[in-house]
Amino acid sequence: MSPVTGWRYPLSWVCEVFRISRSSVYAWRASGSARPMRLKRGPKTAWSDADVVAAIREVLKESSFLGEGHRKVTARLRQRGMRVGKNRVLRLMRRERLLAPVRQGRPHGDRSHSGTIITERPNELWGTDATRFYTRRNGWCWFFGAIDHCVGDVVGWHVAKKGDRWAALEPIRQGVREQFLSYAPKIALGLGLRHDWGPQYTAHQFAGELAWLGIRATPAFVGEPECNGVIERWIRTLKEECLYLHDFETLEEAREVIGTFIEHYNREWLLERHGHRTPAAVRQQLLQAA
């Protein structure tokens, strides 16, 4: 009832203004108590928000990576025996400003491809791409990498001063020797390679060696980097976790640091689509199942 006019307002209006549910009002009236009406429903957790925040800070401090989000933090908390919901972890990390900054991409319309680029078995489709980084003594240098679309591990990588077709072939050669245990004609039949339209990947020597190995080339659509999204996303991780954090003096120093990071990534990085398991564990399980 309004204290001014004496009118009675509908309960639905009052609940809408105060953003509470009518069921909470009815329960409060039935209990006959003046308890707060906006208490959290359901069972109470064993850890308070302060306890969860302290555990989150400890996980972030011990992690070797800098860009892990709330999902991986939730997985690491569960490995410690603290089972909390990922929405709660997201809320607390957002409140405490513990989330890593995320670059907002442009809005995408209808893509020129459909389906998925993730395969069900390893060594069915690899993705390769390149990026540049700076060294004080050698200037701008090139990084080339290759990644498996199923497992998500780096199967080969190479750094060089000159980013030509021979440097682009080196990660593929490493991956073939490691995964197929040989380097011979048609040794990699059934394997596809996703790449963009850079001059390294359109060179006759690059296409010829792929054909010699039995690898079919599956280039991405022009202007659609999502087709090669697995290696594109991984290179972003490489930049955020390694390249942007080091002031390389020489190319040899960069090669050592990048190699250590890639080895660390394959052994310890958590992949959400694989149930927050590491690439090395996923590949071992898939090979045993095969």
pLDDT score for 244: 94
- Is residue 52 within 8 A of residue 94, CB to CB? The reply is no
Would the pLDDT of 180 be above 70? yes
Please give the pLDDT value at position 107: 56
Tens-place pLDDT, residues 111-154: 544 578 899 999 999 999 999 999 999 999 999 999 999 999 99
Closest CA to 214 of 185, 239, 240, 249: 185
DSSP H helices in the chain? 11-18, 22-31, 49-62, 70-79, 86-95, 165-180, 204-213, 229-241, 251-268, 279-289
Q: What residues have CB less than 8 Å from 166, skipping those under 6 apart?
A: 205
pLDDT in tens, 76-117: 999 999 999 999 999 999 999 898 877 666 555 445 445 788
Task: For 184-202, write each residue's pLDDT tens digit.
Answer: 999 999 999 999 999 999 9
CA nearest 78: which of 239, 268, 290, 276? 276
Share of the chain above pLDDT 90, in %: 68
pLDDT at 6 over 60: no
Q: Give pLDDT, residue 67.
A: 82
Q: Kindly tell me if the per-residue pLDDT of 219 is higher than 70.
A: yes
- CA 288 from chain centre, in angstroms, equals 25
If you average pLDDT over residues 253-275, what whole number do you get?
95
* Of 159, 152, 151, 166, the residue nearest 130 (C-alpha): 159
3-state SS, residue 248: strand
- Could you identify the residue written with the tokens 């890593």? 100
Instruction: Assign 3-class secondary structure to 109-154.
Output: CCCCCCCCCCCCCCCCEEEEEEEEEEECCCEEEEEEEEEECCCCCE
Q: Is the pLDDT of residue 5 over 50?
A: no
CATH 3.30.420.10 maps onto the chain at: 125-289
> Which fold would CATH assign to domain 125-289?
Nucleotidyltransferase; domain 5 (3.30.420)
* pLDDT of 44 higher than 80: no
What's the pLDDT score for residue 108?
Answer: 53
Average pLDDT over residues 54-61: 93
- As a whole number of angstroms, the distance between CA 147 and CA 126 comes to 5
